[in-house]
Amino acid sequence: MSEPQEKPAAASLAERLRTFLAERRESLSPLLILTHDFPDPDALASAYALQHLAQTGFGISCRIAYGGEVGRTENKAMIRLLRIPAHRLKPIWFKQHAGIALVDTQPHFENNAFPANRRATVVIDQHPSPSPAEADLVLLDSECGATSVILARALLQHGTDIPNRVATALAYGILTDTLDLYRARREDVVQTYLEILQHCDMRTLARIQNPMRSRRFFATLGKGIREASQYRRLLVTHLGLVETPDLVSQVAEFLLAYRRIAWCLVTGRYQGRLHASLRTTRTDTPAGPVLRDAFGNPKQAGGHGPIAGGSCRIGRDAEPAAWEACEQKIQAGVVKRLRIAASVDPRKPFVR
């Protein structure tokens, strides 16, 4: 007789989540669901799915909140078309809610507004961390590719009808964080996506993926291309002031498609903070440690697999020299970490 196979990680975590909600339903309501600041599709979808599961499955009232703002065109379209009830965070809500769930982030990460004097109730995330998260329930799967995978599996296991708006959000969340499944490392991740896809509104998904864009978006993208410098297999571009921090990662993802590079570093200035995004096509070197070393402060940067991001405060009234010094420090740190000789002269690959 063959031994029973171990459950995939996402399925096991989903089962623990459903058990926890069932056992604590009376003490959790109302529940505040907090994403990271400037939430991306994976964070928005995870929050939306958790709200649906908690409210319809266990009678727990929920509110979705985020810090910063939703800036990327696709993310705005996602909220509008799928009617995701996500709200700008008000600090008073921390006192008004019995429980706090963090999705796609962790309490000690610097990319969220979670108060240091509060204990989290639930943490659901995909990002590895040098220190463990503190919460009543911690569900962490660093190999699932997207936090949406855990929540999608929880809804599928629950067995009730999944609204097409929630399913569409989860499908988009999985696609964006796995680069259309290219970065999916496990078979159960692909299987979860295919199962949730059956509940989706494909027309709406296509509208979210292909929104109309502003002139400023193309101006920023154009600058990123013109200003790009290549150091062997590393491409670097500094965008200066950006309309939203999301553009930094968006430009990095776009430029990574250049066939002669394996790494792409992009920075942008937004409301007194310098944001950086690092992407790679390499599978043997994760981007997170590279960017953390470049920042010099492990709390300011992090990532998972080929994706990394970070930010540091410079100051709204800082002189241009202060911004440039930080940009050059991060750039030099990445160059050194990738063992690119300091004597290598950069070239402008897109300027004739």
Per-residue pLDDT tens over the stretch 186-236: 999 999 999 999 999 999 999 999 999 889 999 999 999 999 999 999 999
CA geometry: angle 255, 256, 258, nearest 5 deg: 75
Report CA-CA distances (Å) from 57 to 7, 14, 22, 76: 23, 13, 9, 28
Q: Do 156 and 196 meet the contact criterion of CB atoms below 8 Å apart? A: yes
pLDDT, tens only, 237-272: 999 999 999 999 999 999 999 999 999 999 999 999
- The confidence score (pLDDT) of residue 302 equals 85
Domains of the chain: 9-209 (3.90.1640.10), 216-337 (3.10.310.40)
pLDDT, tens only, 106-149: 999 888 999 999 999 999 999 988 788 999 999 999 999 999 99
- The confidence score (pLDDT) of residue 35 equals 98
164 exposed, middle or buried (CB, 10 Å; 0-12, 13-18, 19+)?
middle
Please state, in angstroms and rounded to a whole number, the distance separating the CA atoms of residues 321 and 260. 31
Coil, strand, or helix at residue 121? strand
pTM of the model: 0.85
- Phi and psi torsions of 349, nearest 5°: -70, -20
Please state, in angstroms and rounded to a whole number, the distance separating the CA atoms of residues 190 and 175. 10
Copy the structure tokens of residue 23.
Answer: 């056992």
Copy the structure tokens of residue 50.
Answer: 């958790």
